[in-house]
């Protein structure tokens, strides 16, 4: 029997631990009293091997001249008794397995779930006192968000939700890339190519900029080579704080941003600060960073070659980055690259810059919390406590620039380990979904998106289509429901389906999104999780009609399905803590689905209302499942439905 992915160390032996963590604490105590305090406990891969296990005998047997199984038996013979552990067994080839006393363990687990409730269950204080900055979304404010951007939003939002649940003080930043060639393309269209600055009736401004203006400018640039020089010139003027182009770019960007955030809110995200890239230059943050880099001997001005006249980072000391040449920070015309601006921004995020950034209140999130935006024209300074970790959620194609940033930070004497690039792969559409969303001449199995060529599917279009598909099924099942209720439930199903579908794959793997697959009520989908909770709510309502009251004490032995449901719910706090440490976000979705599977197995085999003497206990178990699953769904960001 092998080990699982969760690790138990000394931190799990704190006072006040709950559910499965209390059992681990007791097992750790028994081992310590038997003379092996350093033994590492993990959950077994299968429930058949108990609730906790250690491979310590196999790791140490050779050092003491014994066979692993012999050492395991010797240790077990020295173990005392415990409140939640019924038995301990030595198992070949050398494991020690701890099995729960199910009567006590079930009562303890249900009591803790009910005591803490949906908001408190699965929360933790392991991050208490630690400040974390999470930067995500960061879409150029020249287009509407497409389904690939949604993965960034979901990943960043889930990182923030998980760390917040574990006691970290989390600040969420959206880096608004309102500088550079892409932004200049929109201005070129409005200012020099005669493209109207207002969209047609009924078209959102972000969609107009991305679907029409940007695509049209890119198309013309392919045939008119003079536009490339005009774009570079315009991009440079956008960086000049006193210029009309600077002010106009900010006006256009903020208008696009207002629509982008409407989409992000629909995706369930929230933000604390919008940091405009143009303010990196306008505030003096870049100029001061440049001086530091120069004084530290990290950059030089190239005298010849393709980078002649450019200021570059000397990467000769880096084992891998040096193979692709040095990195340009300032072009020969004096304009900065996005890597330059990102280095300056990274220093500010890490609290390693004394440049004060002005700002103001931009608006509010749907939850009522304020959103601040950088603004060099205001006297109010934005302040964030120094972060123990800065997490930047950006695609894998940015791996080299992110490595350059980390390398430069270390060269400046900044702890680069505090700067984490959370990388992820792209999202493609299945051919069937692409056709359904209006793309023609689709022949490949998966469609990769390109904003420059106008080949992408907007997030809102995907959600709208998912919502309509869900509404068709909801109306079929509930002909008596009014349109408002159908709309509310269908929107929640669509949001749960898209979020789960884009998060269920490990971040480092590409996703091929298929709409029909995402909406299935069976399998590895968001609606499957939602449906399990709605089913549980129906049981509770029927029990209320039958005047049945829950009880946490079971008369008689627990059956397998009851044990497995309790077991999966009990592990939730441990899973959340582990994900907060490793950021392996998929574990949250895997555990949510496991709990749903266990509940559905329980539902099929264990009648509640007609459960006889077991009815009160089973009702308590159903209610505890709702609390545990809803708590996890809140972390993941999947809407909870009482009916669907």
Confidence at residue 397, expressed as pLDDT on a 0 to 100 scale: 94
Confidence at residue 3, expressed as pLDDT on a 0 to 100 scale: 35
* 566-583 pLDDT tens trace: 999 999 999 999 999 999
Confidence at residue 8, expressed as pLDDT on a 0 to 100 scale: 35
* Residue 556 vs residue 589, higher pLDDT: 589
Confidence at residue 432, expressed as pLDDT on a 0 to 100 scale: 83
Q: How far is it, in rounded angstroms, from Cα 172 to Cα 191?
A: 34
Confidence at residue 4, expressed as pLDDT on a 0 to 100 scale: 34
Mean pLDDT, residues 150-172 taken together: 98
Using the CB atoms, write b or e for 451-485: b if 16+ within 10 Å.
beebebbbbbbbbebbbebbbeebeeeeeeeeeee
Q: Do domains 10-100 and 526-636 have the same CATH topology?
A: no
* pLDDT of 377 over the 90 cut: no
Confidence at residue 12, expressed as pLDDT on a 0 to 100 scale: 36
How many CB atoms neighbour CB 80 within 10 A? 10
* pLDDT of 178 over the 80 cut: yes
Strands lying side by side in the sheet with 427-430? 446-447, 427-430, 511-513
Q: How far is it, in rounded angstroms, from Cα 357 to Cα 431?
A: 46
Confidence at residue 452, expressed as pLDDT on a 0 to 100 scale: 57
pTM here is 0.92
* pLDDT of 304 over the 50 cut: yes
Lowest mean pLDDT among 16-25, 171-180, 268-277: 16-25
Reduced to 3 states (helix: H, G, I; strand: E, B; else coil), residue 235 is helix
Angle between helix axes 615-636 and 483-503 (nearest 10 degrees) is 70
Assigned CATH topology for domain 526-636: Isoleucyl-tRNA Synthetase; Domain 1 (1.10.730)
Confidence at residue 451, expressed as pLDDT on a 0 to 100 scale: 57
Query: Under 8 Å CB-to-CB from 506, ≥6 apart: which residues?
Result: 584, 586
* pLDDT of 393 over the 80 cut: yes
- Ordered by start, the domain boundaries in the chain are 10-100, 428-518, 526-636
* 469-480 pLDDT tens trace: 999 999 999 999
Share of the chain above pLDDT 70, in %: 95
Q: Dihedral of the CA atoms 357, 395, 230, 210 (nearest 10)? A: -100
Query: Under 8 Å CB-to-CB from 222, ≥6 apart: which residues?
Result: none
* 3-27 pLDDT tens trace: 333 333 333 333 344 679 999 999 9
Mean pLDDT, residues 393-412 taken together: 97
Q: Dihedral of the CA atoms 98, 102, 107, 109 (nearest 10)? A: 40
CATH 3.40.50.150 is right for the domain spanning 10-100: no
* pLDDT of 363 over the 70 cut: yes
Going by pLDDT thresholds of 50, 70 and 90, the confidence category of residue 449 is: low
What is the secondary structure of 251-300 as a DSSP string?
A: HHHHHHHHHHHHHHHHTT---SEEEETHHHHHTSHHHHHHHHHHHTT-EE
* pLDDT of 454 over the 80 cut: no
What is the secondary structure of 446-512 as a DSSP string?
A: EE--BTTTTB--BHHHHHHHHHHHHHHHHHHH-TT--HHHHHHHHHHHHHHHHHHHHHSS-TTS-EE
Confidence at residue 621, expressed as pLDDT on a 0 to 100 scale: 98
Mean pLDDT, residues 255-267 taken together: 98
Q: With the C-alpha atoms ordered 557, 561, 565, 571, is the resulting torsion angle positive or negative?
A: positive
Left if phi > 0, otherwise alpha if psi is -120 to 50, otherwise beta: which for 355? beta
Q: How far is it, in rounded angstroms, from Cα 58 to Cα 42?
A: 14
Mean pLDDT, residues 316-328 taken together: 94
Confidence at residue 433, expressed as pLDDT on a 0 to 100 scale: 79
Q: How far is it, in rounded angstroms, from Cα 627 to Cα 114?
A: 8
Confidence at residue 444, expressed as pLDDT on a 0 to 100 scale: 63
Total residue length of the chain: 644
* pLDDT of 79 over the 80 cut: yes
Q: For residues 621 and 110, is the Cβ–Cβ distance under 8 A?
A: yes
Structure tokens at 54: 């250690």
Confidence at residue 109, expressed as pLDDT on a 0 to 100 scale: 96
Average pLDDT, rounded, for the chain? 92
């Amino acid at each position: 029997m092998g080990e699982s992915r969760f690790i138990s160390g000394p931190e799990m032996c704190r006072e006040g631990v709950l559910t499965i963590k209390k059992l681990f604490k007791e097992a750790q105590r028994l081992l310590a009293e038997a003379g092996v305090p350093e033994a590492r406990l993990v959950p077994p891969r299968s429930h058949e091997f108990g609730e906790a296990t250690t491979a310590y005998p196999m790791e140490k047997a050779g050092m003491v001249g014994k066979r692993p199984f012999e050492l395991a038996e010797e240790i077990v013979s020295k173990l005392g008794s415990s409140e939640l552990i019924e038995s301990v067994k030595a198992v070949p080839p050398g494991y020690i397995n701890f099995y729960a006393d199910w009567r006590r363990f079930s009562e303890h687990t249900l009591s803790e779930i009910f005591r803490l409730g949906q908001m408190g269950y699965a929360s933790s204080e392991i991050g208490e006192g630690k400040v974390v900055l999470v930067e995500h979304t960061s879409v150029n404010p020249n287009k509407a968000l497409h389904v690939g951007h949604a993965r960034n939003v979901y990943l960043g939002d889930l990182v923030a939700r998980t760390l917040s649940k574990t006691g970290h003080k989390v600040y969420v930043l959206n880096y608004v890339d309102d500088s550079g060639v892409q932004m200049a393309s929109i201005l070129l269209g409005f200012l020099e190519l005669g493209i109207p600055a207002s969209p047609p009736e009924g078209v959102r401004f972000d969609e107009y900029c991305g679907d029409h203006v940007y695509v049209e400018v890119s198309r013309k640039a392919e045939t008119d080579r003079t536009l490339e020089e005009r774009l570079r010139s315009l991009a440079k003027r956008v960086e000049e704080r006193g210029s009309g182009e600077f002010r106009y770019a900010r006006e256009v960007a903020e208008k696009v941003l207002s629509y982008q955030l409407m989409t992000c809110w629909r995706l369930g995200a929230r933000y604390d600060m919008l940091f405009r890239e143009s303010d990196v230059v306008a505030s003096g943050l870049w100029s001061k960073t440049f001086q530091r880099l120069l004084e530290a001997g990290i950059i030089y001005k190239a005298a010849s070659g393709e980078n002649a006249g450019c200021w570059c980072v000397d990467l000769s000391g880096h084992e891998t980055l040096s193979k692709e040449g040095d990195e340009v920070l300032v072009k020969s015309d004096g304009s900065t690259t996005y890597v330059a601006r990102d280095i300056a921004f990274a220093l500010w995020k890490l609290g390693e810059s004394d440049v004060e950034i002005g700002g103001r209140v931009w608006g509010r999130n749907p939850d009522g919390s304020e959103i601040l935006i950088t603004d060099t024209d205001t006297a109010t300074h934005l302040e964030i406590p120094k972060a123990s970790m800065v997490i930047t959620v950006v695609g894998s194609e940015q791996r080299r620039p992110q490595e350059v940033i980390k390398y430069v930070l270390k060269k400046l004497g900044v702890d680069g380990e505090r700067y984490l690039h959370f990388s992820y792969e792209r999202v493609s559409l299945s051919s069937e979904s692409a056709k359904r969303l209006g793309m023609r001449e689709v022949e490949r199995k998966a469609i990769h998106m390109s904003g420059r060529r106008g080949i992408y599917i907007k997030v809102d279009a995907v959600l709208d289509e998912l919502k309509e598909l869900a509404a068709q099924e909801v109306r079929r099942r509930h002909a008596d429901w009014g349109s408002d209720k159908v709309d509310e439930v269908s929107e929640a199903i669509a949001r749960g389906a898209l979020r789960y579908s884009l998060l269920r794959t490990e971040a480092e793997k590409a996703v091929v999104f298929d709409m029909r697959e995402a909406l299935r009520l069976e399998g590895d989908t968001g609606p499957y999780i939602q449906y399990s909770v709605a089913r549980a709510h129906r049981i509770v309502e029927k029990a209320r009609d039958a005047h049945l009251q829950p009880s946490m004490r079971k008369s008689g032995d627990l059956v397998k399905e009851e044990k497995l449901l309790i077991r999966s719910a009990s592990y939730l706090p441990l899973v959340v803590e582990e994900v907060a440490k490793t950021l392996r976000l998929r574990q949250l979705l895997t555990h949510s689905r496991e709990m749903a599977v266990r509940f559905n197995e329980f539902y099929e085999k264990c009648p509640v209302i007609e459960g006889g003497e077991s009815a009160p206990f089973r009702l308590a178990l159903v209610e505890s499942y709702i609390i545990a699953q809803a708590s996890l769904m809140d972390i993941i960001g999947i809407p909870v439905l009482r009916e669907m």
